[in-house]
Every structure is written in structure tokens, then in C-alpha cells.
Amino acid sequence: MRWPGLGDPRKRRKTIRFLIILLIVGVIVGVSSSVLQGFIGQSDPLKVCINNRDTPYKISATLELYVDGNKATIPANIGFGEKESDDLLKSDCQRSLYTLTADGTIYAEWEEEYPFEIGHFFWIWTNYHEGGFPKKDMLDEKSRILVNGVESPFYVNAPIVQGYHYKAEFTTKEYDESKDADFLPPDL
């Protein structure tokens, strides 16, 4: 098969030169985009480690988690982990949202006041904790977040406020609601 632009040697040189220029432009755009995103991401409290930063803004709140009506444990040390450093060695990394114990207390800290949301905590848990929180396996339309006992219209975008109590009720996609409402004896 003859490819267009490759039959005549002069056209072939033009086509190959065009493809090389296109490749160079693509590589330049890709590299500059990666560098720019890395530079911008250095000031994003959800993506950087706070180990070597002065973080005077500190808040804490409590969170209860229910999945399919059953209370779930929020593990200790969410937000603490290992991160590839510049010298490609593993180093300890503390994120801006974290837990210290499994009692449901979540902490947030940053260099200045930042509008942390409860969804940010679940994102940190999902991306930076072994096992993670399976948020993508939940039905958003059947799940809800209660803030101090009142359902939040913002759902996972509810802001984290110092001292508030949050209750997250998630329903998984596999959950069978009919077993909660039928009157058959259990395990039949």
C-alpha cells in the first residue's frame, strides 16, 4: 500500500520533516505542562507533604462513618505514608489532613486558613493510605453527610469547621436494601 505523501522522495522528506517537527512540539508541550503542574502543585495543601512547613492554621473535627448502615472504623494514621522524594528514596510524608488514632478525630493544618472539605479527607484516605476508602464504589444519590446532626446540602463538599461533628452515611452499589425490609427469617 502506498501511503499519501511518501511516494515522491521530495514529498517524503517534507512529510518526515513535518512529523519530526510535530513530535518535537508535542514533547515540548508535554514537558512544559508537567513542569508547570508540578510548580503549581507545590502550594496545593492536598498534594504536598507538610513535614517541613510551618502550619499555624490547625483545626480538628470528629467523623463517624457508616457503610450500608454498619458503623465502619476510620483507621489511624491516614495522611501519613511514604512518598518518593527527589532522590528516589522513600521518605516519611505527612499530609495536611490526617488521623492520629482510630477514634474518628480528623485533623487539618496548613500555612494559612484553607477551605478544607470532608471530601478532601476521603480523597486523602483513598489516594494516600494503604487500602484506601472505596469512594468510587458508593452511590452518591443514596449517601449523605450530616453536620452536627443536620444533613448537609453540600454532601462531600461540606466544609470542615473546628469542633464540628460529621456523620457520613454511604451506600455501596452492591447493597441490597430489600433484606432490610422483608420479614423472612434471617439466612433463608
Query: In this predicted structure, what is the pLDDT of residue 44?
Result: 82
**Parallel/antiparallel/unpaired status of strands 57-67 and 165-170:** parallel
Q: Which of 180, 175, 167 is nearest to 68 (CA)?
A: 175
The arithmetic mean of pLDDT across residues 154-175, rounded, is 92
- Checking if the pLDDT of 17 tops 80, the result is yes
The more confident residue out of 183 and 14 is 14
* 56-66 pLDDT per residue, tens: 999 999 999 99
pLDDT digit string (tens) for 75-122?
Answer: 999 988 865 444 444 458 899 999 999 999 999 999 999 999 999 999
- Cα torsion angle, 174, 63, 57, 159, sign: positive
**What pLDDT does 85 receive?**
46
Q: Is 169 exposed, middle or buried (0-12, 13-18, 19+ CB in 10 A)?
A: middle
Identify which has the larger pLDDT, 166 or 1: 166
Per-residue pLDDT tens digits for 132-145 = 888 888 888 989 99
Res. 39: pLDDT tops 50:
yes
> What's the pTM value of the predicted model, to 2 decimals?
0.72
Mean pLDDT score of the chain: 84
Residue reference for cell 467523623: 63
pLDDT the model gives residue 177: 61
What pLDDT is recorded for position 35?
83
Predicted local distance difference test score (pLDDT) of residue 86:
47
